[in-house]
Structure 1
Amino acid sequence: MPHLVEELADLPPGFFDGRRSDRLFVRCIHTEWRHSNCATCAPLPSAVTKCRRCTGGEPVEVRTRIGAVCARHRRWHYAGADCDLGRSADIFRAERCLTGTLWERGIGPDTGELELATTLIRASDLRREDESHRTALARHYPEAVRLVALTTEPWAERFLANTNIGPIQVAALVEAAVNAVTAGTSHDIDAVRASFHAEGRETVIGLDQPMRLRYGQSPSLGELGRRILTLAPRVRATLLRHTDARKPPARQPRPSSRHAQR
């Protein structure tokens, strides 16, 4: 549709393609498989609603490097909302993390990781099971962003990508990560980083007391971990999505609508 509008409005090709700085980072051949916002391979994020104060009250969607919060007007604007945030420092830190660290891992507001994170956090509170993603994200934005940031760090990526590690070990990692980010202390988060390692066919889990599990053995899970276990395949697929390498898309010449009408 954007390319059709370009032709009908006599706009230059690529007018709606956005700035390179707006693109989500990917691994591709053009940068030797490092994360970058490659002009050829990196996609634009999904369209998100912009702050109503910034648009003069008009409903506007943009595909740019933006999250769920307008720091200028201190408003929550995700999915068309318009809520005052006052001086919620945690929320503004989360926004900077999303549009900075996470963006450079290829993670945006609607790439799936934040939705998974809110689902995992809600799993610890059965009273909120029927809550919509939109409502849950507004309540848990700082925790959801911290959880995504923690579980997409290089050590977690290596742990989740190890095919010798089964779903129960994955659930144990995610359970510990959820508990750490909801506790809100850097000590708990550092403990998770230091506690999960894979060494060959052994998984080393060092929370509480170190355990060395041979391939096929499983750690014990708490109630939250048992709920997370049912999501283990989704957890792995979603949190490893940003590691996928991208081949240059095949570009087909676009037939002119004017020529097609002749």
Structure 2
Amino acid sequence: MTVEPFAGETVRSLYRRLAERNAIPSGELWTAIRHAQLKLPLKTTPEAAPHLVEQLAGLPPGHLDGRPQDRLFVRCAHAAWQYNPCPICAPLPAPATMCRRCTRGQTVEVRTRSGAVCARHHRWHYASADDDLTGQNAHLHAERFLTGTLWQRGLALNTGELELATELLGFRHTAGPQHAQPGILDGRFREYYPKAVQVTALLTEPWAERFLTNIRLGRLPVAVLVAAVVTAVDTHSRHQLATLRESFRAYDRETLITLDRTVRLRHGRSPGLDEFGTKILAIASRVRGTFLRHADARRPPTHHEHAESSRAS
């Protein structure tokens, strides 16, 4: 018996549901598949045989290669180095679980243009959760902004920026040294989701990108900028949010900051950071690298690399 695939469903997810539907242990099904392709690994790895999984599910060849509209935007030569969902260079987003209301209670993994919130059912579905968000409009707005504006900058749920933004917001609310692991999202993610999206949005705007790209400024101005952005978002300061874009100017090795007062910060001089700013200073290199990652241009893959990427998708 076959199952109805969901849009953007991963090979692994469809394979698992096929095995469950037919009451066959996934290992036994993989053994049967290996009889048709002896070169497949012994370990159950459906991603290594997507076209065979397509056949088992009664799907046309290429169905599991990923939909063009789900690809992240990248800068590449095929669009004159402008952001675009290039079918050759643009990757699919990392696998994520769907809303269980949309899947009628099934656990389904997809690679689609989506975040952590189901706008249709107002549910938080990150990491297989199923939590009600009725009345929490900030989460719905953040979801739309993520899958709209941020997606077109090449940012998605698991590209690293939201994880770091959540970590930075946590710095403001926790005293003492921090030892968070990069890429790890804990229970704070749902709480901070709207703010994390807003912090990420501000720090990947062109003005912030130009500031972070200027490596002649050193780590201190980066810490001051990021601390100001996170604080403005976290405190809902309309004044600071309105003036942030005009408050940081870089002149060679000097930074002019005009938030509450005018400060000229030269390379190598301390701006008198508070505890929050000091925490950011300690990870300034990672902050700069993460929030500039989306600006990297993509080298068009070779024919072999493109074929391997398509099979993995």
**TM > 0.5:** yes
- Seen in structure 2, the aligned counterparts of structure 1 residues 148 and 8 have a Cα distance that, compared at 3 Å, is closer
Match of 1:187 among 233, 239, 246: 239
State whether structure 2 residue 197 is matched by structure 1 residue 153: no
Any stretches of 5+ residues in structure 1 without a counterpart? 256-262
Report the AA paired with residue 243 of structure 1.
A
Q: Which stretch shifts more, 154-163 or 125-134?
A: 125-134
Q: Tell me what 2:251 maps to.
A: 199
Amino acid at match of 2:291: L
Shift of 1:216: 3.2
SS for the counterpart of 1:124 is: helix
Residue equivalent to 2:49: 4
Q: Which residue of 2 aligns with 1:39?
A: 87
Distance 1:86 1:46, change over 3 A: same
Alpha-carbon displacement from aligned partner over 1:34-74 (angstroms, at most 9, x marks no partner): 11111110000000000000000000010000000001111
- Percent identity between the two aligned chains: 51
Amino acid at match of 2:213: A
Note the C-alpha offset of 1:126: 1.4
**One-letter amino acid of the counterpart of residue 52, structure 1:** R
Instruction: Report the counterpart of residue 155 of structure 2 in structure 1.
Output: 107
Q: Does 1:54 align with 2:102?
A: yes
Shift in CA distance, 120/8, structure 1 to aligned 2, threshold 3 Å: closer
What's the secondary structure of 1:178's corresponding residue? helix
- Does 1:65 pair with 2:132? no
Question: Is the 2:243–2:259 Cα contact (8 Å) retained in structure 1?
Answer: yes
State the partner residue of 1:21. 69
- Tell me how large the CA RMSD over aligned residues is: 2.1
Please report the TM-score for the alignment, with normalisation by the length of structure 2. Answer: 0.77
Shift >6 Å, 4+ stretches: 127-132
Whole-angstrom distance in 1 between the partners of 2:179 and 2:288: 24
Matched residue of 1:181: which SS?
helix
Distance 1:250 1:236, change over 3 A: same
**Cα deviations across residues 103-139 of structure 1 (Å, max 9, x unaligned)?**
0110000000000000000001116968972411111
Deviations 1:143-189 (A, max 9, x none): 00000000000000000000111111100001101100011243321
Work out the number of aligned pairs and report it.
255
Match of 2:302 among 246, 250, 253: 250
| Residue ranges of structure 2 left out of the alignment (5+ in a row) | 1-45, 309-313
Give SS of 1:79's match: helix
